[in-house]
Structure 1
Amino acid sequence: MKALVLAGGKGTRLRPLTHTSAKQLVPVANKPVLFYGLEAIRAAGITSVGIVVGDTGAEVREAVGDGSRFGLEVTYIPQDAPLGLAHCVLIARDFLGDEPFVMYLGDNFLIGGIADLVDAFGAAGHDAQILLTKVAEPQFYGVAELGPDGQILRLEEKPANPRSDLAIVGVYTFSPAIHEAVRSIEPSARGELEITDAIKWLIDHGYSVHSHFVSGYWKDTGRLQDMLECNRIVLEAIRPDIRGSVDGASEISGNVVVEAGASVEGSVIRGPAVIGAHTVIRDSYVGPYTSIGESCLIRDSEVEYAIVLRDSSITGISRLTYSLIGRNVEVTRAQGMPNACQLMVGDHSKVQVRA
């Protein structure tokens, strides 16, 4: 069995970060979201992986390499434009051959892995098996309606009046029958070949399409709140690991990771939290559910429930929370008069200030 990982797309909901970076490489607990998916694929016993890449392909290639660090053999499949998930299957035909495969959306975060899904698919002999989970607001997702034996009867994409609360998770298993399906469908109104249309084609032509339910935690990491929630979930499971230096004037409580080369000076860190390699925390407070990337500086500041990417600095900020700070960012306190906020903010940014 092979795996097809989708790591293209624009990541519009995480702009401005995704203007210059792949959304699949935004870190959760200092590890890119994409890496969690690759590890889950390897844990399911799959080693041959095709990664579909788009405009940020060079960055993905640099991060993943040949896949050997994950125990994988990786083939990169360029997609000239984001023309839909079914289009990814279409252009991956040579790589996939006539083998069954799992398709994994690289910006999906799944705790609990996919081994159960892969094993169930292999044992049952279905032509497609779709991972589902119950959600509170199904109108924002692709939704499945099931028959009495778990077979999928129909799919709807973001329906105004959902027939169920079962959302389609971004992990699918397919037999080679899917190749005929993706060749047979037409682009949707938004000009893309939709995987839901290909699955509907399988259903309409009598193929066996079945459901499988998420056994752990799942989140589509397309929005700020989703990234912070995933960060929280992962940090809750970490164990204390102090490999950097912590001076006697500092206080560390709870589950905290201080990576090698990092230093904590005159500061309070309350876990769960991760401090990246070669980062300096000085005269500051780092609160729970915070991940600070490598080579950062936090000085005379308070940071809580946040993700800070590498090479960024936060200086003289009395309180920063519920935030995602990109790479090479400087956040500082304005000096002098008038007592006003000074901002240089890029396109598609979101800033909240307390007047």
Structure 2
Amino acid sequence: MKALVLSGGAGTRLRPLTHTSAKQLVPVANKPVLFYGLESIAAAGITEVGIITGDTDQEVRAAVGDGSAFGITVTYLRQEQPLGLAHAVLTAREWLGEDDFVMFLGDNFLIDGIEPVVAEFTGARPDAQILLTKVTDPSAFGVGEVDGDGKVVRLEEKPRVPRSDLALVGIYLFTPAIHEAVSSITPSRRGELEITDAIQWLIEQGRDVRSTLIDGYWKDTGTVDDLLEVNRIVLERLPARHEGTVDENSEILGRVSVGPNAEIRNSRIIGPVVIGSGARINGSTVGPFTSVAEDCQIIDSEIEYSIVLRDSRIEGVHGVEASLIGRNTQVTSAPWTPRAHRLVLGDHSTARISA
């Protein structure tokens, strides 16, 4: 069995961060979201992995390499345009051959992994198997209808009037039957080849399409709020470790992971918190639910429920919360409170200003 991991797409909901970075490589608990998926795949015993890439191909290659760090072998498959999940299967057709495969969306996070569902699929081997979870707003997702035996009777992509509260999780398992399906459908109103349409085609052809209802934590990390929530969930399971330096004037409360060569001075760290290697925390309060990446500096500041990416500096700023701060970013206090605000903002930016 192979795995097809999708790591393309523009990440428009995470702009401006994703103007310069792949959305799948945004870290939670100081590890890219994509890595959690690759680890789940390896834990399920799958070693042959194809990664679909787009405009951020070089960045993904640099981060993942040949896959040996995860115990897998990676083949990179370039999708020139993001034309849908079913189009990604078409792109990978030659590499997939006649093997069964799991398709894993690289920005999805499933806390319990995929080992049980892979075992279930390989044991019964239906033509397709999907994962479903109950949500409060199914109109924002692909929606599935199932019968009493868990067989899928209908799928619909982001319906205006959902027929159930069961949303598609971004993990699918297929036999080679899916190849005929993706070749038989036409683009949706979004101009994409939808994987839901391909699976619906299998249903209409009388093929065996089954579902697994998951009750563990799952999240599509497509927005800042989603990333912060996943960061919180991962940090709650993070073991404490102290590999850096903490001076006698600092206080560590709860589960805190301090990386090698990190320094904490005159500060209060309220776990769960992870502090990356080489980071410097001085005269500050950090946490709870905060990830500080490698080589960051937080000086005379307060930050909680946030993610700070590598090589960034926060100095003299209090009350930072629910924030995602990109790489090589400077956040400092203003010398005075201006009567007017001068802004130069890029497309799709968000600015919050106290009046």
Shared fold (TM-score, shorter chain, > 0.5): yes
Q: List per-residue Cα deviations over 1:192-227 (Å, max 9, x = no partner).
A: 111011001100111100001225210000011100
- How far apart, CA to CA, are the structure 2 residues paired with 1:285 and 1:177? 55
Counterpart of 2:171 in structure 1 is 171
Counterpart of 1:116 in structure 2 is 116
- How far apart, CA to CA, are the structure 1 residues paired with 2:325 and 2:112? 28
Asked if 2 retains the 8 angstrom alpha-carbon contact of 1:3 and 1:48, the reply is: yes
Amino acid at match of 2:41: I
For the aligned residue pairs, the C-alpha RMSD in angstroms reads 1.1
- Indicate yes or no: 2:317 matched with 1:317: yes
Counterpart of 1:335 in structure 2 is 335
Deviation at 1:148, TM superposition (A): 1.5
Deviation at 1:336, TM superposition (A): 3.9
Asked if 1 retains the 8 angstrom alpha-carbon contact of 2:155 and 2:200, the reply is: yes
Amino acid at match of 1:267: S
Counterpart of 1:244 in structure 2 is 244
Counterpart of 2:89 in structure 1 is 89
Deviates more, 1:205-214 or 1:63-72: 205-214
Unaligned runs of 5+ in 1: none
Q: List per-residue Cα deviations over 1:46-78 (Å, max 9, x = no partner).
A: 000000000001000000000000000000000
- How far apart, CA to CA, are the structure 1 residues paired with 2:156 and 2:142? 6
Counterpart of 2:107 in structure 1 is 107
Q: List per-residue Cα deviations over 1:316-335 (Å, max 9, x = no partner).
A: 11110010001111111111
Counterpart of 2:261 in structure 1 is 261
Asked if 1 retains the 8 angstrom alpha-carbon contact of 2:33 and 2:106, the reply is: yes
Pair 73,241 (structure 1): closer, same or farther in 2 beyond 3 Å: same
- Indicate yes or no: 2:65 matched with 1:65: yes
SS in structure 1 opposite 2:291?
strand
The 5 A counterparts of 1:109-148 are: 109-148=109-148
Runs of 4+ in 1 over 6 A off after TM superposition: none
Pair 16,22 (structure 1): closer, same or farther in 2 beyond 3 Å: same
SS in structure 2 opposite 1:143?
strand
Pair 337,303 (structure 1): closer, same or farther in 2 beyond 3 Å: closer
Deviation at 1:239, TM superposition (A): 1.7
- Indicate yes or no: 2:59 matched with 1:23: no
Asked if 1 retains the 8 angstrom alpha-carbon contact of 2:133 and 2:167, the reply is: yes
Asked if 1 retains the 8 angstrom alpha-carbon contact of 2:263 and 2:281, the reply is: yes
Counterpart of 2:300 in structure 1 is 300
Asked if 2 retains the 8 angstrom alpha-carbon contact of 1:145 and 1:164, the reply is: yes
Asked if 2 retains the 8 angstrom alpha-carbon contact of 1:53 and 1:78, the reply is: yes
- How far apart, CA to CA, are the structure 2 residues paired with 1:45 and 1:11? 29
- How far apart, CA to CA, are the structure 2 residues paired with 1:133 and 1:271? 30
Asked if 2 retains the 8 angstrom alpha-carbon contact of 1:112 and 1:215, the reply is: no
Asked if 2 retains the 8 angstrom alpha-carbon contact of 1:315 and 1:331, the reply is: yes
Counterpart of 2:56 in structure 1 is 56
Deviation at 1:287, TM superposition (A): 1.6
Asked if 2 retains the 8 angstrom alpha-carbon contact of 1:334 and 1:340, the reply is: no
Counterpart of 2:285 in structure 1 is 285
Q: List per-residue Cα deviations over 1:150-184 (Å, max 9, x = no partner).
A: 10000111112211110000000000000001111
Q: List per-residue Cα deviations over 1:6-36 (Å, max 9, x = no partner).
A: 0000000000011110000000100000000
- How far apart, CA to CA, are the structure 2 residues paired with 1:274 and 1:125? 41
Amino acid at match of 1:190: R
Q: List per-residue Cα deviations over 1:266-312 (Å, max 9, x = no partner).
A: 00000000011111001000020000011111011000000000011
Asked if 2 retains the 8 angstrom alpha-carbon contact of 1:112 and 1:217, the reply is: yes
Asked if 2 retains the 8 angstrom alpha-carbon contact of 1:334 and 1:342, the reply is: no
Amino acid at match of 2:247: D
The 5 A counterparts of 1:170-249 are: 170-249=170-249
Amino acid at match of 1:351: A
- How far apart, CA to CA, are the structure 2 residues paired with 1:271 and 1:342? 37
Deviation at 1:190, TM superposition (A): 1.6
Asked if 2 retains the 8 angstrom alpha-carbon contact of 1:334 and 1:341, the reply is: no
Asked if 1 retains the 8 angstrom alpha-carbon contact of 2:296 and 2:313, the reply is: yes
- How far apart, CA to CA, are the structure 2 residues paired with 1:188 and 1:337? 51
Deviates more, 1:29-38 or 1:142-151: 142-151
- How far apart, CA to CA, are the structure 2 residues paired with 1:251 and 1:157? 50
Amino acid at match of 2:296: C
TM-score by length of 2: 0.98
Asked if 2 retains the 8 angstrom alpha-carbon contact of 1:3 and 1:102, the reply is: yes
- How far apart, CA to CA, are the structure 1 residues paired with 2:151 and 2:75? 33
Pair 334,340 (structure 1): closer, same or farther in 2 beyond 3 Å: farther
Identity of aligned residues (%): 63
Amino acid at match of 1:212: T
Asked if 1 retains the 8 angstrom alpha-carbon contact of 2:270 and 2:288, the reply is: yes
Unaligned runs of 5+ in 2: none
Counterpart of 1:5 in structure 2 is 5
Deviation at 1:342, TM superposition (A): 5.8
TM-score by length of 1: 0.98
- How far apart, CA to CA, are the structure 2 residues paired with 1:45 and 1:191? 36
- Indicate yes or no: 2:40 matched with 1:40: yes
- How far apart, CA to CA, are the structure 2 residues paired with 1:243 and 1:341? 43
- How far apart, CA to CA, are the structure 2 residues paired with 1:345 and 1:289? 28
